[in-house]
Chain A
């Protein structure tokens, strides 16, 4: 009986192994997205953005590889928003699916372990949304990683811009900060904000924290209320923000909120309702822009996915894919190292989220950001912010 079972299992694996087609017929690109877990809206947008970009390239015939047009084949893996699963997905895509390059993961906690594996395996990993400075830095040498790129700006840049904005544009003098101490990304944003805000002559009157999974913030907000801030800086993920803002309002706090790119999901406005009206946030792009590349993307996205406006993750995933495809075409070969070199030397790429360009020894692009305000149940453009 037992040996029969083992035979069956072995046979199953042989069948699996036999499935593989020749791996050079198509351009194999992996996608790691947070499809289930804590931030499923991010995963869905990333998947949509990547599928749309690949679809458009394939409809136009594919990518020219040494004179032969080859179609893109997507391999989509779910990271469940867990670091270990993101790492396993990267391993699987590189070793089993033998992809040329990977787009994703999006959240930095997922992107970091996946980036380590990609770097070790000398495979390009392009994260659309991970803003943590550490993602593209080698933890051992402190130098930039060779194979890890991103399509977005970094938290350091973000905190700095927000601190200046709060002091200079919103004229806030006293600011309270509440952030998730268990998230590297949000912590860096809070710290950089504090530094930049104080350098500009502002005062932080309360610096409060919470831990991932907390739902009750009444103690922190009662403390913040007592400090009487002009503005509350709240770098939290979009699923926490509605709870936090609502609890603050129920405690009688009237000060406006300022958020980071972690706020940017249509779901936030839907869930938060009137409580979030008038709040500000920083984002990678604004659907309200007049940029024709962006407008075309938004119109196409709406047509393809049934009407909803793409969020920043969708736009960044689309850009990440676009830059990557351009680099593959420039490399003209299905060689991982050649794609890496082509990517680092790519001329200014006109993306949906602005012009993307890499300096020679860094995977961080040079690009700007926008400040949005929540108005009439939607995000509206408020100001541009340059590095």
Chain B
């Protein structure tokens, strides 16, 4: 039983990182019906800004977190303005291809600065507590705690503010929203800002928990987060969080109770099975498309 709880804790930590990134995918999809494949690389830039803050500027934890979140927020807004807005009325596929291009650009730009993997110095004191046989490290507590805090903040913004109302309105029907006097461009920029900021925070959490980073970390983690969003029902905020924890749980528990080689096999088989029975994800709503 202790073994199970230990693994469950590992799963919650992994799920928290996936959740923060999955939110970025799902929010952008919610307002634009577009998949921003560069989002995984925004996350990677967040991790590298963490390196800049921690290893080069020797900042403590909170300023590093703020630096990464601000930096990636600006990157997200700039990308939307430069690369995605001109394509707003182009076919969806063009925007998706552009986002892939932005991602490859970011990877190679970072690679061009320095090809060596970076090591992140410890930002928090490292302790391991043992509670009833289960080992808990300060990093796990920080990752889980900060993720919950940020997700709660996002929940408030989306559900309790006017901007959040506007976001939800755009998600429901983008054609009608401008007629109500809502500045669509600003709201979309805000959505990108929020999603990217969370991605930046995820980068810091990730870099603390797994302190060797390279320009390609965004690819695999980004895919996993994207899958989380799809499992939960892409476009749905609560769905993304739910999907992330399910994915974290399945990945860890597969490795825990089956040979670890089957991890991705089981994970992706479950995803396929789920999509057959619920093509819109767990919390996604059915949508009738007029042709």
Q: Which residues of A contact B (CB under 8 A)?
A: 35-38, 40-41, 181, 208-211, 213-216, 218-220, 222-223, 226, 239-240, 242-243, 246-247, 250-252, 267, 270-271
Contact = CB atoms under 8 A, between A and B. Distances in A.
Interface stretch (B60-68, B110-118, B169-177): B110-118
Interface string B121-142: 0000010101000010101000
A219 B220 contact: no
B256 interface: yes
Contacts of A38: 214, 216
Given A36-B111, A252-B135, A271-B212, A219 B251 contact: yes
Contact of B119 (A36, A181, A208, A270): A270
Nearest to B6: A222
A246 B130 CA distance: 17
B69 interface: no
B228 interface: no
A226 B116 contact: no
A245 to B, nearest CB: 11
A209 B259 contact: yes
Contacts of B261: 181, 209
Contacts of A215: 206, 210, 212, 217, 221
20 contacts: A35-B115, A38-B216, A40-B116, A40-B117, A181-B261, A209-B259, A211-B263, A215-B206, A216-B14, A219-B255, A219-B263, A222-B256, A223-B256, A239-B212, A242-B119, A243-B210, A250-B139, A251-B6, A251-B128, A271-B212
Interface in B1-36: 3, 6-7, 10, 13-14
B185 interface: no
Interface string B155-185: 0000000000000000000000000000000
A252 B126 CA distance: 12
Contacts of B209: 216
Nearest to B262: A209
A211 B43 CA distance: 21
Contacts of B135: 250-252
Those 5 A-B pairs whose CB atoms lie nearest each other, nearest first: A219-B255, A218-B10, A215-B210, A271-B119, A40-B115
Given A41-B116, A226-B3, A252-B135, A219 B256 contact: yes
Interface residues of B, number: 39
B252 interface: yes
B279 interface: no
A40 B113 CA distance: 13
Contacts of A243: 210-212
Nearest to B3: A226
Given A37-B115, A239-B212, A243-B210, A223 B255 contact: yes
B260 A242 contact: no
A250 B137 contact: yes
Interface in B228-255: 251-255
A373 B16 CA distance: 37
Nearest to B117: A239
Contacts of A37: 115
Nearest to A242: B212
Interface in B177-236: 206, 209-212, 214, 216-217, 219-221
Contact of B10 (A209, A219, A252): A219
A219 B258 CA distance: 11
Given A37-B115, A239-B117, A250-B126, A219 B211 contact: no
A218 B13 contact: yes
Contacts of B220: 213-214
A126 B61 CA distance: 48
A127 to B, nearest CB: 21
Contacts of A211: 263-264
Residue from B14, B117, B209 whose CB has the most chain A CB atoms within 10 Å: B117
A168 to B, nearest CB: 29
A40 B117 CA distance: 8
Residue from B6, B117, B253, B260 whose CB has the most chain A CB atoms within 10 Å: B260
Contacts of A250: 126, 128, 135, 137, 139
A379 B206 CA distance: 29
Contact of A218 (B14, B116, B264): B14
Contacts of B128: 250-252
Contacts of B119: 242, 270-271
Nearest to A250: B137
A208 B209 CA distance: 21
Contacts of B117: 40, 239, 267, 271
Contacts of B253: 219
B252 A218 contact: yes
